[in-house]
Structure 1
Amino acid sequence: MPDLVVVYLTLKLASVVTLILLIVATPLAWWMSQTQSPYKSIVGAMFALPLVLPPTVLGFYLLLLLGPNGALGVLSEFVGIGALPFTFTGIVIACVVHTLPFVVQPMQNAFEAIGKRPLEVAKTLRASPSLVFWKVAFPLARPGFFAAAILGFCHTIGEFGVVLMIGGNIAGETRVMSIDIYNHVEALEYSQAHWLAGGMLVFSFVALLLIYSLNDFVKRRLTQCA
């Protein structure tokens, strides 16, 4: 049977990271979908780096940044939070950075799929920018938000390299399911590894099935509106 503490810690990590990402990624995705700035490509490439960087590379630089001599490490010590590496807070920060593009891109695609016409109509009715977003853009892009949340949650649950680099393998603090599977395999405890790996496999399939169902729903909705 899986270690319930490990499962709880993994779900807690994924929930906290997903909540933070929805708050952080929403204005970024909205800006990326609407701006004509010449810096759009640079900003997009910068935030998409975790898609192509090996997790160990990203984890290494985050370790330097969060360490006692890094900018965030010095700041955390100054405000009294303490050291960030090998703590739950540290792996939350690492997972937010690593998972950000997996949340931003579905949101950006959802905003871009709306088109300009609904937004322009709302503006002609003298709706404020905030009203245009909350009353027009957000409701139409809601399926994209659900897809982004599911993808971010699942990606965080399956994260291994960055978590290991930043958090290590501390029981009850940073040992999540992906690391626990590695521990069981290394100890030749295949039955325990099967419980965790099989559960993650089923969970991932169901999550992807839900995402594809949402995408089909959006396509049908757009076709009906056309």
Structure 2
Amino acid sequence: MMTDAILLTLKLAAVTTLLLLVLCLPLAHWLSKTQSIIKPFIEAIVALPLVLPPTVLGFYLLVWMSPNHLLGQWWIAVFDRPLAFSFAGLVFGSVLYSLPFVVQPLQRTFEGQSAALKEAAFTLGANPWKTFWRIQFPLARPGLIAASVLGFAHTVGEFGVVLMIGGNIPGSTQVLSILLFDQVESSHYQEAHILAGGLVVTSVITLFSLYRWNRYASVRVGA
């Protein structure tokens, strides 16, 4: 049971992180450069999971995924299976819930890049697309790594959202945080200690590695 939960959690975190990077890279770049009047609204929507209780987000996602609403109806029509209480549903909810942990580090990275480099590239004849991939994207590597680590780690630690939209189905939606809750409810405290301790150690190692990498990257840039 624990092995299944670990593998499912790692799979969920990996898939979610990859999707977030694909979605958040252009969004973060746009937010870092735009002066649009809708920018504060978009930033507020992106940051909403930071302050919104996870169960609230999970509740509305569960409603939208139901067969009585458009998203749930469309999913059933296309895939012939419900979106709620499925791995796909967990991915959908995880992407929304971990969105600010990927967008914000990337946005701050792009905002910190020198405008002179971009202007120099334009002067030499590079178009915006080439400038982004040849100059801005390589320079954004520290922020990209930070965003990936934070998105992955945050997905691993999710509880409220995944419980609301995925329930507790072993091998299907029972991730580590749900298994820990299940062990505590069943008074299996020894197993709960093992799970909780493992998550604490993993979190500390992850954050330590991230901060050490940021320090190393800052020293290299400063040199």
Q: Deviations over 1:152-204 (max 9, x none)?
A: 00000000000000000011100000011111111121111121111111111
Match of 2:3 in 1: 4
Match of 1:214 in 2: 213
Unmatched 5+ stretches in structure 1: none
| Bigger mean CA offset, 209-218 vs 52-61 | 209-218
Unmatched 5+ stretches in structure 2: none
Alpha-carbon distance in 2 for matches of 1:51, 1:71? 26
Map 1:167-182 onto structure 2 (within 5 A). 167-182=166-181
Match of 2:15 in 1: 16
Match of 2:69 in 1: 70
Q: Deviations over 1:25-47 (max 9, x none)?
A: 10000101111111111111111
Alpha-carbon distance in 2 for matches of 1:222, 1:9? 38
Q: CA 1:81 to 1:220, structure 2 compared with 1: closer, same or farther past 3 Å? A: farther
Map 1:121-160 onto structure 2 (within 5 A). 121-160=120-159
Match of 2:83 in 1: 84
Amino acid at match of 2:182: N
Q: Deviations over 1:84-112 (max 9, x none)?
A: 01111101100000001111001111111
| Cα root mean square deviation, aligned | 1.2
State the 1:222 CA deviation: 3.9
Aligned: 1:52 with 2:51: yes
Alpha-carbon distance in 2 for matches of 1:80, 1:176? 23
Amino acid at match of 1:99: S
Match of 1:193 in 2: 192
Q: Deviations over 1:45-75 (max 9, x none)?
A: 1111111100000001111111112221121
- The count of corresponding residues between Structure 1 and Structure 2 is 223
Amino acid at match of 2:163: L
Alpha-carbon distance in 1 for matches of 2:98, 2:134? 28
| Bigger mean CA offset, 161-170 vs 113-122 | 113-122
Aligned: 1:117 with 2:150: no
Moved over 2 A (4+): 217-224
Alpha-carbon distance in 2 for matches of 1:145, 1:81? 36
Alpha-carbon distance in 2 for matches of 1:28, 1:201? 32
Amino acid at match of 2:153: C
Alpha-carbon distance in 2 for matches of 1:71, 1:46? 21
Other structure's SS at 1:137 match: helix
State the 1:115 CA deviation: 2.4
State the TM-score, normalizing by the size of structure 1.
0.95
Alpha-carbon distance in 1 for matches of 2:97, 2:217? 27
Alpha-carbon distance in 2 for matches of 1:95, 1:131? 32
Other structure's SS at 2:35 match: coil
Alpha-carbon distance in 2 for matches of 1:37, 1:81? 41
Amino acid at match of 1:8: L
Other structure's SS at 1:79 match: helix
Match of 1:161 in 2: 160
Alpha-carbon distance in 2 for matches of 1:13, 1:58? 18
Amino acid at match of 1:219: S
State the TM-score, normalizing by the size of structure 2.
0.96
Q: What percent of counterpart residues are identical? A: 51
Amino acid at match of 1:158: G
